[in-house]
C-alpha cells in the first residue's frame, strides 16, 4: 500500500493534464464569438502569441494569419475565379398551384448548384456597380432557385476552393492535405433582375462575360430561338458575407466587413478601403503566378 500511496500523486497529475485540455468552455454572455472562433490556443497543437497575426506550431516555423482585409481580397478573388456556386433559397409558405411542390416543404430550404459569373465590372457604367462583388446569373424562370426568389425568398451563395486541393501544400510537414483547410465563403442577399429591355451594349457585355465562363449557356440566352427554357439576366445583391479561410488561427473565420467587400476592385480598392490593394494582388492556396 505504501508504494500505491506514492504513485497516487503522479497518477492524479497525469489525469489532470490529460482531461483538463479536453473540457469545452461555453461562451459567456457578451463574449465575442468571432474572437472565440479564431482563438484556438486551448485545444490546438499551435500556440498564438499575444499578436494574433503570428502563429507558432510545434511542427513548423512561425506562420502569419492573413489580416481581415487580406482575407476579403481572397474572398473576392474566390468569387472572381468561381463559375459555379451552391445557391440556397426557401420554398414559399403558399406555393402557386402550378408549382408541383409538396406542401410539406413549404418554408424549408433547398440548396442547388448554379452557374455564376463575376460580370459587374464588365458592364457599361450606367448599369454597373463598379465591380462591387455582386455575382451575375443567367437565371431560368423554371429553375427552383429563381421560382423561390420570385416568390420572395432571399438567397445565399456558397463558394469554395476545395477542387484545388491537390495543387496545395500541407499546412505543415506531416499534416495531411485537407479541404477543411481551404477557403470557402457564403454570400447572403437577394436577386435583382436587370431592367428590361436591356441596351444592346449591356446585352453584349453580359453575353461576352458570362459565355466566357459558360459557353454552353449560349443555347438558353434570353430570347434565343429554340431555347429549352426562358431565361433572364439577374444579379445577386450581396448584403452579408461569411468567410472561413481554413483552420482557425491559421486563417480568419467570421463575418466580413461588407463595405470592404463592396469597395474592393480587381486592381485596387476604392479610397478609404483597406490598404488600397485589389483582389488581383493576392493568391489562393496552390495558385501559380
Residue with the bigger pLDDT between 48 and 150: it is 150
pLDDT at 43 over 50: no
Given a cut of 90, is residue 61 above it in pLDDT? no
- Tell which residue, 148, 80, 88, 147, has the closest CA to residue 116: 80
* Torsion, CA 204, CA 207, CA 210, CA 216, rounded to 10: -160
What does the DSSP 8-state code read for residue 104?
G
**Residue 44, pLDDT above cutoff 60:** no
Comparing C-alpha atoms, which of 286, 266, 289, 284 is closest to residue 276? 266
Helix H or strand E segment including 146: helix 144-150
Neighbours of 140 (CB within 10 A): 19
For 100-143, how does the pLDDT look when each residue is reduced to its tens digit (9 = 90+)?
A: 889 899 999 999 999 999 999 999 999 999 999 999 999 999 99
Q: What percent of the chain has pLDDT over 90?
A: 70
Average confidence score pLDDT of the chain: 83
Average pLDDT over residues 210-226: 96
Residues in the chain, overall count = 289
**Residue appearing with cell numbers 448554379:** 114
Summarize the confidence of residues 46-69 as an average pLDDT. Answer: 54
State residue 34's pLDDT score. 39
Q: What is the pLDDT of residues 65-97, one digit of tens each?
A: 899 999 999 999 999 999 999 999 999 998 777
Asked, as a colleague might, if the bond just before 215 is cis with ω within 30 of 0, I would say no
As a whole number of angstroms, the distance between CA 7 and CA 26 comes to 34
Question: What are the tens digits of pLDDT across the range 139-197?
Answer: 999 999 999 999 999 999 999 999 999 999 998 899 999 999 999 999 999 999 999 89
Q: What is the DSSP letter of 173?
A: T
Give me the percent of the chain exceeding a pLDDT of 70: 78
Report pLDDT for 216.
97
pLDDT higher for 247 or 35?
Answer: 247
CA contacts within 13 A on the Cβ side of 234: 22
Residue 17 has pLDDT above 60, yes or no: no
DSSP code for 35: H
| Mean pLDDT on 220-237 | 95
pLDDT surpasses 60 at 13: no
Query: What domains are there in the chain, each with its CATH number?
Result: 32-64 (no CATH), 65-97+105-164+178-281 (2.30.110.10)
pLDDT value of residue 98: 76
To the question of pTM greater than 0.95 for the whole model, the response is: no
4 pLDDT band, cuts 50/70/90, is: very low
Amino acid at each position: 500500500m505504501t508504494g500505491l500511496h506514492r504513485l497516487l500523486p503522479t497518477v492524479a497529475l497525469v489525469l489532470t493534464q490529460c482531461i483538463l485540455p479536453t473540457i469545452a468552455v461555453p461562451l459567456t454572455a457578451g463574449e465575442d464569438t468571432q474572437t472565440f472562433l479564431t482563438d484556438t490556443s486551448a485545444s490546438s497543437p499551435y500556440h498564438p502569441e499575444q499578436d494574433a497575426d503570428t502563429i507558432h506550431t510545434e511542427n513548423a516555423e512561425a506562420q502569419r494569419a492573413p489580416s481581415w482585409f487580406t482575407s476579403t481580397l481572397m474572398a473576392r478573388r474566390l468569387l472572381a475565379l468561381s463559375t459555379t456556386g451552391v445557391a440556397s433559397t426557401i420554398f414559399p409558405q403558399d406555393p402557386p398551384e402550378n408549382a408541383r411542390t409538396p406542401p410539406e416543404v413549404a418554408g424549408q430550404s433547398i440548396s442547388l448548384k448554379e452557374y455564376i459569373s463575376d460580370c459587374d465590372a464588365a458592364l457599361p457604367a450606367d448599369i454597373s456597380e463598379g465591380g462591387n462583388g455582386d455575382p451575375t446569373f443567367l437565371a431560368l424562370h423554371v429553375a427552383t432557385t429563381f421560382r423561390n426568389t420570385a416568390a420572395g425568398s432571399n438567397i445565399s451563395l456558397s463558394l469554395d476552393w476545395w477542387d484545388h486541393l491537390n495543387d496545395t501544400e500541407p499546412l505543415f510537414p506531416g499534416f495531411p492535405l485537407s479541404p477543411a483547410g481551404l477557403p470557402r465563403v457564403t454570400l447572403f442577399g437577394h436577386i435583382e433582375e436587370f431592367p428590361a429591355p436591356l441596351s444592346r451594349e449591356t446585352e453584349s457585355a453580359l453575353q461576352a462575360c458570362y459565355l466566357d465562363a459558360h459557353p454552353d449557356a449560349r443555347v438558353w440566352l434570353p430570347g434565343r430561338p429554340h431555347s429549352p427554357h426562358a431565361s433572364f439576366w439577374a444579379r445577386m445583391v450581396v448584403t452579408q458575407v461569411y468567410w472561413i479561410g481554413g483552420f482557425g488561427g491559421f486563417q480568419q473565420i467570421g463575418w466580413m466587413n461588407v463595405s470592404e467587400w463592396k469597395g474592393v476592385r480587381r486592381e485596387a480598392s476604392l479610397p478609404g478601403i483597406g490598404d488600397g490593394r485589389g483582389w488581383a494582388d493576392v493568391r489562393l492556396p496552390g495558385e501559380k503566378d
